[in-house]
Amino acid sequence: MPNETAFFWLVVAAFLFFDNLIIVPHGCELLRFGRRGHLRYDASSRLSAAGKEMVLLNPLNLFDRGLVTTTCFGDVEPRKWRQGLELVHAALPTLNGFSTMGYVYLVLVVVLAALSFRIGFTPALIGFVGMHLFVWVAAVAGLIVRRRQLLLSGSGVLGAAAEALFVPAYLMNLGKRLVYKRRVGISALGLGLRQLKRTVNEDDRDELALKLLGRLELLEMTQGHQVDEASPDDISPWDTRSGELGAAGAAALANLSTTQQWIMEAKACLKT
């Protein structure tokens, strides 16, 4: 019986772990934000499976959230930046409330899991089901009241409520799940370059620059923005002595798409 009890709680923990794996669609990237809603680009390495990239959010930090952006390259456009911030800030108080509720749920689950080995699995399971239903009713009430701030349709509320009812980990993770399917148009690497400019510590700056360069080169290759082999790949658009656009660089840039030009300029910035 102790083995079956341990297996049950491990299954609950496994659902929570895998619910923090976000699949990033091809051509998109992932921005992250926390309790205060500050959007940032994380250029760390991704997990890969079946040709898709996945990002693992911190399962124990219920305020660690991901937001998919449909734009990887280019400067951050003010209009799209404002739209992204409005989306996040409108939903943030509700998301934080669900994450706080999730922490209460998580603590109670840990307590019940520990008690199940002392008082028996059946009494602990009854307490678990009762607690789950109570938290679920409170969460559904919150979804209905705050649906406009969350930009949820009636079917969206129904779908989220059904998932949370049948999978305890989804209820615990509701403060993240409600933004999983949202999309913004903020340039991920453009935001990363902004972060680089604001980084004061030299070591942190160098580390971030290397990560951004690695992501830039990988996305350039996987999304088909590489420079043609006939073009001089090794030409930097910037003169290394004057820091200005050189004649050779200008000629190379003229034959490239707007995205390729931006990539070359970003590479030059990251390598200096």
Tens-digit pLDDT profile for residues 122-146: 999 999 999 999 999 999 999 999 9
Boundary-marking domain end, from 153, 184, 215: 184
Is the pLDDT confidence value at 231 over 50?
A: no
Give the whole-angstrom CA distance, residue 134 versus residue 28.
Answer: 38
Cβ atoms of 88 and 37 closer than 8 Å? yes
Q: How confident is the model at residue 254 (pLDDT cuts 50, 70, 90)?
A: low
Is 240 within a domain?
yes
Confidence of residue 46 (pLDDT cuts 50, 70, 90): confident
Neighbours of 250 (CB within 10 A): 11
Element (H, E) at 23: strand 21-24
Please check whether residues 259 and 132 belong to one and the same domain. Answer: no
The answer to the question of residue 190 being in a domain is no
Q: Is 167 helix (H, G, I), strand (E, B) or coil?
A: coil
> Token pair 């073009």 is at which residue?
231
Domain match, 58 and 163 both: yes
| Strands 183-184 and 65-69, bridge-based pairing | parallel
Which is higher by pLDDT, 214 or 249? 214
Residues 179 and 239 in one domain: no
pLDDT tier at 51, thresholds 50, 70, 90: confident
Residues 101 and 20 in one domain: yes
* pLDDT(11) > 60: yes
- pLDDT surpasses 50 at 9: yes
Contact at 8 Å (CB) between 269 and 213? no
At 42, the pLDDT band (50, 70, 90 cuts) reads very high
- What number is the average pLDDT over the span 155-179? 95
Tell me if residue 44 falls in helix, strand or coil: coil
pTM of the model: 0.85
Residue 203 in any domain: the answer is: no
Q: Report whether 132 contacts 168 (CB < 8 A).
A: yes
Same domain, 238 and 180: no
Q: Which of 184, 218, 249 marks a domain boundary?
A: 184
Question: pLDDT tens-digit profile of 192-218?
Answer: 999 999 999 999 999 999 999 999 999
* Alpha helix ranges (H) inside 146-244: 154-166, 168-172, 174-177, 188-198, 202-222
- Which candidate, 255, 271, 264, 269, places its Cα nearest to that of 220? 264
Q: Rounded distance, CA 263 to CA 192, Å?
A: 13
Query: What Rg, from alpha-carbon coordinates, does the chain have?
Result: 23
The verdict on 137 and 261 lying in the same domain is: no
142 and 270 fall within a common domain: no
What pLDDT shows up at residue 228? Answer: 60
Residues 176 and 232 in one domain: no
Q: Are residues 235 and 108 in the same domain?
A: no
The reported pLDDT for the residue numbered 189 is 96
> Would you say residue 219 lies in a domain?
no
195 token code pair: 């972060």
For residue 159, tell me if it sits in a domain: yes
The amino acid sitting at 216 is L
Considering the domain architecture, whether residues 148 and 252 belong to the same structural domain is answered as no
Q: Above 60 in pLDDT, residue 60?
A: yes
Residue 200 in any domain: the answer is no
Q: Checking phi first, is residue 246 left (phi over 0); if not, alpha (psi -120 to 50) or beta?
A: beta
- Based on DSSP, count helices (H) and strands (E) in the chain, helices before strands: 10, 7
**Run of H or E including 94:** helix 78-119
223 found inside a domain:
no
Q: Which of 168, 184, 200 is the last residue of a domain?
A: 184
pLDDT tens for residues 85-124? 999 999 999 999 999 999 999 999 999 999 999 999 999 9
Residue 237 structural domain = 228-272
Asked whether residue 92 is assigned to any structural domain, the reply reads: yes
**Number of structural domains, the chain?**
2
